[in-house]
Amino acid sequence: MSIDSELLDDFGAIMRSPGRAEDAVAHLAEATALHPDDATLRAFLALALHAAGHSTLALATMLEAALAAARPDGFGGYGSALAEYQRQLVDAALQSRSP
C-alpha cells in the first residue's frame, strides 16, 4: 500500500486537535489492521500512541516498524533480540492495562 496524502492529512488534523490523540490511534490502528505489512503506517501509529500517553506500546510499535522496514541484515545479528524485546514491550504494555 502506498500511503496517500488524504490519510496523512487526516492524521495531521487529528493530531493538531487537542485531546484527539486517541482518535488518531483508532484511525491508524484500523489502517494498520487493513495493511499489516505497511511499516510506515506502524510508525505513524507509534507516534499517535506516544501522543496518547501509551509510551511503552508506542516504543514497541516503533520498534516493530523499524524491524519491518529494515533490510535483512540491517540490525546485524541483533534482529532476533530486538524482535524479542519488542514482544516483551507489548506484553508489558498489555499487562499495565489490565485491571
Q: Lowest-pLDDT range, 9-13, 56-60, 84-88?
A: 9-13
- Res 1 pLDDT > 50: no
pLDDT digits (tens, 9 = 90+) for 5-53: 567 667 766 776 778 889 889 888 988 898 888 888 888 899 889 989 9
Distance CA 26, CA 95 (A): 20
Query: In degrees rounded to 5, what are phi and psi of residue 53?
Result: 90, 15
- Block residue for cell numbers 499495565: 96
Q: Where are the domains of the chain?
A: 5-97
Closest C-alpha among 65, 63, 70 to residue 88: 63
Q: What is the mean pLDDT of the chain?
A: 84
pTM of the model: 0.75
pLDDT, residue 78, reads: 86
